[in-house]
A and B are shown apart, each in its own frame.
Chain A
Amino acid sequence: MINQSLFTLNRRRLLQMGTGAIAITALPGLALADEKAFQASRKAAFGNTPINEGRVEVTLPPIAENGNSVPITVKVDSPMTDASHVKRIVILSPRNPVPDMSHYKLGPYTGRAEVSTRIRLAGTQSIEAIAEMNDGSLWSGSKSTVVTLAACAIL
């Protein structure tokens, strides 16, 4: 993804100008996170604990007409009781300049393991949410979205 051809970038920049960007734009390619940074963020948040797939449901629109504000909901399958609950949710992006998107702390008092917000997407990608349970286990889910106009490429 990082090796997107310059041709594509130029076309995109031309396109933005055509659709009304007011001035110079940042080169999106230079600021994109790579796989290494993404893995580093994962490790910084959770160390070497293995991450299981499942129990986490990410909801995103299939197409985002503007990457500046995309609704996302993360739901974790948990009874949210003292005995079994979600402690933490981390949302990560493989393509934004900063892989960490947002972190949440929850507990049994939260009642329901669900959070919604609006995020920026610097391009088409698959967003991952990882939940840490009170027993220390980690679970993840992801969802991909096609961004028709990248957020960091427009003013």
Chain B
Amino acid sequence: MRASLIILALAIVGCSQQTNQPNANYETLDEVISGYAFLQPETQALQDDEFSNPGYLWVDKGEALFNEPAANGQSCASCHTDEDRSLIGASTHFPKYDERAGTLINIEGRINLCRVTHQSVPKLEYESEHLLALTTYVANLSKGSRVAGELSPKVQSNYDNGQAYFNMRRGQFNLSCAQCHDDNAGKSLRGDTISQGHSNGFPTYRLEWQTLGSLHKRFQYCDIGVRAEPLPGGSQTYIDLEYFLANRGRGLQVETPAVRR
């Protein structure tokens, strides 16, 4: 079992070509490995099974919402048509700078922007069932594509902020993200093996949540885990952290909807 895990981990690393890429912005990890490699085989099998992976319940729901017209007759699919296929691979470029918003936004932010500007409907609340479903559907369209993790000078300050958050010790435990996910990834924390903390599977079906959740919900659980005050989902600092993580996990394949512990 262990041997197959290691082989799998190596295979994933081998595919990602991450080790051969110069990465000026991220030097700490020798090789970038998806959280998938840290799961037991039964959990991997659940993720791989495109029927019984419960995350697909949200993909299905998101697809239905994507095609549902708003009061003004516009659905997401009115612009993003099948022929257009513009959304395949799109999620690999998020978070990214948006001209209209004038700031760094993630997929959730982009969906809400489209709702307001093109569908004339209110924004969906962060972590709401519908926003999760739409985000999962859109991210799933890029499943198998590699996280682009581009850097733009326009949002350098967001990157710096995200990186600072990742490295900042906080909470009553006085721990940073980096202390677990950079310094001790692969080691055991009680019954768990610490992953590298990548974002390529989100939104993710977590067994602990018994439901699907966003990356920001995962951040909140990490913050609470170290006894720090969690930030609200969709807050700019979490989006900045998401941006930093996309660069840190550059080259990983999108796994949405992944299954995690």
Contacts and interface: CB of A to CB of B under 8 A. Distances in A.
Interface of A: 15, 17-22, 61, 63-66, 68-71, 148-149, 154-155
A61 B225 contact: no
A148 B189 CA distance: 11
B210 interface: yes
B189 A19 contact: yes
B225 A19 contact: yes
A12 to B, nearest CB: 10
B115 to A, nearest CB: 29
Nearest to A61: B42
Contacts, number: 51
Contacts of A68: 207-208, 210
Contacts of B225: 17-20
B246 to A, nearest CB: 22
B190 interface: yes
A19 B189 CA distance: 9
Given A65-B191, A65-B261, A68-B210, A22 B221 contact: yes
Name the interface size band of chain B. 10 to 19
B222 interface: yes
Given A21-B224, A69-B210, A149-B192, 5 more contacts: A20-B221, A20-B224, A61-B41, A66-B208, A148-B191
B39 interface: yes
B133 to A, nearest CB: 20
Contacts of A69: 46, 207, 210
Contacts of B224: 20-22
A118 to B, nearest CB: 8
Most B CB within 10 A of own CB, among A15, A66, A71: A66
- Give the dominant DSSP class at A's interface: loop
B197 to A, nearest CB: 13
Contacts of A66: 43, 207-208, 261
A63 B40 contact: yes
Interface string B205-239: 00110100000000001101100000000000000
Contacts of B207: 65-66, 68-69
A66 B39 CA distance: 11
23 contacts: A19-B189, A19-B190, A19-B225, A20-B208, A20-B222, A22-B224, A61-B40, A61-B41, A63-B40, A65-B39, A65-B40, A65-B43, A65-B207, A65-B261, A66-B43, A66-B261, A68-B210, A69-B207, A69-B210, A70-B42, A71-B46, A148-B192, A155-B208
B192 A19 contact: yes
A117 to B, nearest CB: 10
A36 to B, nearest CB: 29
Nearest to A19: B225
Contacts of A17: 225
Contacts of B41: 61
Most A CB within 10 A of own CB, among B39, B190, B207, B225: B207
Nearest to A116: B52
Contacts of B189: 19
Contacts of B191: 65, 148-149
A22 B228 CA distance: 11
A66 B38 CA distance: 13
Nearest to A15: B190
Nearest to B40: A65
Nearest to B220: A22
Nearest to A70: B42
B40 A154 contact: no
Interface in B22-62: 39-43, 46
Q: Which 10 pairs, one residue from A and one from B, show the smallest C-beta to C-beta distance?
A: A148-B191, A20-B225, A66-B207, A20-B221, A61-B42, A68-B207, A65-B40, A69-B207, A66-B261, A68-B210
